[in-house]
Structure 1
Amino acid sequence: MSPDVIAAIKELVPAARVYDDPLSTLAYGTDASFYRLIPRVVVKVESEEEVVSLLAIARRFSAPVTFRAAGTSLSGQAISDSILLVLGDQWKDHEIRNEGRQIRLQPGIIGAQANAWLAPYGYKIGPDPASINACKIGGIVANNASGMCCGTAQNTYHTLASMRLILADGAVVDTEDSASVKAFRGSHAPLLAELEQLAAETRANTELADRIRHKYRLKNTTGLSLNALVDYSDPIDILTHLMVGSEGILGFVSSVTYDTVPDYPNKATALLVFTNADSCCRAAALLRSQPVAAVELLDRRSLRSVQDKPGLPEWIHGLSEDACALLIETRAPDATLLQEQLVQIRAALAGFPVEKKVDFTSDPKVSDQLWAIRKGTFPAVGAVRPTGTTVIIEDVTFPLDQLAEGVKRLQALFVKHAYDDAIIFGHALEGNLHFVFPQGFDNPDEVARYDAFMKDVSQLVAVEFGGSLKAEHGTGRNMAPFVELEWGHDAWELMWKIKGLLDPENLLNPDVVLSRDPDIHLKNLKPLPAADPLIDKCIECGFCEPVCPSEGLTLSPRQRIVISRDIQAKKRAGKDTSELEAAYQYQGIDTCAATGLCAQRCPVDINTGDLVRKLRAQKTGHPGAADWVAEHFQTVLRGTRFVLTMASGVEKLLGAPRLAKLSAGLSRVSGQRLPQWDPSMPQPIRFVPQAPVAESDAPRVVYLPACVSRVMGPASGDGEQTTLYDKTRQLLEKGGYQVVQPQALDTLCCGQPFASKGYPEQAERKKTELLKALLAATRNGRDPVYCDTSPCTLQIQEAARELGMALYDPVKFIREKLVDRLVFKPEDTRIAVHVTCSTQHLGESQGLIDIARRCSTNVVVPEDIHCCAFAGDKGFNVPELNSHALRTLPRQVASCTEGISTSRTCEIGLSRHGGIDYHGLVYLVDRVTEAAPY
Structure 2
Amino acid sequence: MIETLRGIVGEKGLITDPAEMEPWLTDWRQRRRGRALAVVQPASTQEVAAVVALCAAEGEPVFPVGGNTGLCFGAVPESDLDDKPGIVLSLRRMNRIRAIDRAAGVATVDAGVVLGDLHSAAAEAGRQFPLHLGSEGSAQIGGLISTNAGGTGVVRYGPMRDLVAGLEVVLPDGRVLTDLAALRKDNTGYMLRHLFIGAEGSLGIITGAALRLHPQVPNTAHAWVAAADPADAVALLAAMQDRAGSAIQAFELVSASQFELVRKHAERARFPFAEIPAWSVLIELGSEDATTALRDTLEEVLGAALERGELLDAVIASSEQQAADFWHIRHSVSEANKKEGMSITHDVAVRSSDVAPFIKAADDVAAELFPEAYSEVVCHLGDGNVHYILMFTHAYWAALPDPEAFALTVERAIHDVAARFGGTFSAEHGVGRKLTEELERLADPLRYELMNKVKSLFDPQNLMNPGVLLASKTA
Q: TM-score, normalised by structure 2?
A: 0.87
Task: Name the counterpart of 1:267.
Answer: 220
| 1:283–1:32 CA distance, 2 compared to 1 (3 A) | same
Sort the Cα spacing of 1:114 and 1:100 in 2 relative to 1 into closer, same or farther, 3 A. Answer: farther
Could you tell which deviates more after superposition, 261-270 or 330-339?
Answer: 330-339
What is the distance in 2 between the residues matched to 1:276 and 1:88?
43
Q: What is the rounded CA distance, in whole Å, between the counterparts of 2:212 and 2:219 in structure 1?
A: 22
1:368 to 314, 321, 324: 324
Partner of 1:18: 14
Runs of 5+ unmatched residues, structure 2: 79-85
* Deviation string, structure 1 residues 797-824 (Cα, Å, up to 9, x no partner): xxxxxxxxxxxxxxxxxxxxxxxxxxxx
Pick aligned residue for 1:444 from 391, 394, 401: 401
Q: Which has the higher strand share?
A: 2
1:281 has 2:234 as partner: yes
Q: Offset of 1:6 from its aligned partner?
A: 3.1
Q: Kindly indicate whether the alpha-carbon contact (under 8 Å) linking 2:39 and 2:87 is maintained by their aligned counterparts in 1.
A: yes
In structure 2, do the counterparts of structure 1 residues 383 and 455 end up closer, same or farther at CA, with 3 Å as the change threshold?
same
Structure 1 residue 351: Cα displacement: 6.0
1:667-746 correspondence runs (5 A): none
Give the partner amino acid of 1:269.
H
Equivalence for 1:394:
346
The answer for the alignment partner of 1:490 in structure 2 is: 446
- Conservation of the 8 A alpha-carbon contact between 1:143 and 1:473: yes
Give 1:116 shift. Answer: 0.9
Change (3 A) 1:8 1:272: same
Tell me if 1:113 matches 2:132: no
Q: How many angstroms apart in 2 are the aligned matches of 1:293 and 1:307?
A: 25
Look up the match of 2:83: none
Structure 1: distance between partners of 2:312 and 2:345: 28
Aligned AA for 1:331?
A: G
TM-score normalised by length of structure 1: 0.46
Task: Assess if the C-alpha contact under 8 Å between 1:175 and 1:236 holds in 2.
Answer: no
The aligned counterpart of 1:156 is: 160
Q: Contact 2:94/2:111 (CA < 8 Å) preserved in 1? A: no
For 1:119 and 1:11, locate their aligned partners in 2 and report how far apart those are by CA, in whole Å. 38
Matches within 5 A, 1:170-181: 170-176=174-180
1:876-897: CA deviation from partner (whole Å, max 9, x where unpaired): xxxxxxxxxxxxxxxxxxxxxx
1:404 paired residue among 356, 377, 392: 356
Q: Distance in 1 between matches of 2:116 and 2:12?
A: 29
In structure 2, relative to structure 1, the CA distance for the partners of 1:48 and 1:446 (3 Å cut) is: closer
Residue 6 of structure 1 is matched in structure 2 by 2
Mapped to 2, the partners of 1:486 and 1:348 lie a distance apart of: 42
The alpha-carbon deviation at position 446 of structure 1 amounts to 3.7
Q: CA shift at 1:27, angstroms?
A: 2.5
- Per-residue CA distance 1:640-671 (angstroms, 9 max, x = gap): xxxxxxxxxxxxxxxxxxxxxxxxxxxxxxxx
| CA distance, structure 2, for counterparts of residue 35 and residue 292 of structure 1 | 38
Partner of 2:377: 424
Q: Residues 504 and 286 from structure 1, CA distance in 2 versus in 1: closer, same or farther, beyond 3 angstroms?
A: farther
Maintained 8 Å contact 1:306/1:376? yes
Q: 1:422 and 1:339, CA in 2 relative to 1: closer, same or farther beyond 3 A?
A: closer
What amino acid maps onto 2:135 in structure 1? S
Q: Tell me what 1:458 maps to.
A: 415
Alpha-carbon spacing, 1:501–1:152, altered in 2? closer, same or farther (3 Å): farther
Give the C-alpha shift of residue 284 in structure 1: 3.0
1:185-208 deviation line (CA, Å, top 9, x unaligned): xxxxxxxxxxxxxxxxxxxxxxxx
Change (3 A) 1:145 1:261: same
Matches of 1:494 and 1:232, distance apart in 2: 25
Shift of 1:247: 0.9
Does residue 467 of the first structure (1) align with residue 423 of the second (2)?
yes
CA distance in structure 2 between the partners assigned to 1:344 and 1:232 by the alignment: 43
Q: 1:133 deviation in Å?
A: 1.8
- Cα pair 2:228 2:279 within 8 Å, conserved: yes
Q: Which moved more, 1:244-253 or 1:50-59?
A: 50-59
Pick the aligned partner of 1:316 from 275, 297, 309: 275
Structure 1 residue ranges without an equivalent (≥5): 179-230, 518-934
The answer to whether the Cα contact below 8 Å between 1:307 and 1:314 also exists between their aligned partners in 2 is no
Whether 2:71 is the aligned partner of 1:74: answer yes
Tell me how far 1:97 sits from its aligned partner.
0.5
Q: Which has the higher helix share?
A: 1
Structure 2 distance, partners of 1:396, 1:465, is 11
- Asked if 2 retains the 8 angstrom alpha-carbon contact of 1:62 and 1:507, the reply is yes
DSSP 3-state at the match of 1:45: coil
DSSP 3-state at the match of 1:422: strand
SS in 1 for 2:347: strand
Q: Distance in 2 between matches of 1:354 and 1:373?
A: 24
Residues 1:346 and 2:302 aligned together: yes
- The answer as to whether partners of 1:31 and 1:76 remain within 8 angstroms in 2 is yes
Quick one: structure 1 residues 159 and 314, their matched pair in 2 at CA, closer, same or farther if it must change by over 3 Å?
closer
Aligned equivalent of 2:81 = none
SS at match of 2:429: coil
In structure 2, the partner of 1:36 is 33
Measure how far apart 1:137 and its partner are. Answer: 0.9
| 1:502 has 2:458 as partner | yes
2:358 maps to a residue whose letter is: G
Q: Which has the higher contact order (CA 8 A, sep 6+)?
A: 2
Query: 1:135 Cα deviation (Å)?
Result: 0.6
Whole-Å separation in 2 of the counterparts to 1:382 and 1:158? 30
Task: Please say if residues 279 and 352 of structure 1, whose CA atoms lie closer than 8 Å, have aligned partners that are also in contact.
Answer: no
CA distance in 2: counterparts of 1:485 and 1:372, whole angstroms: 37
CA distance in 2, matches of 1:433, 1:37: 30
Instruction: Check if 1:378 corresponds to 2:334.
Output: yes
User: Aligned-pair distance for 1:25?
Assistant: 2.8
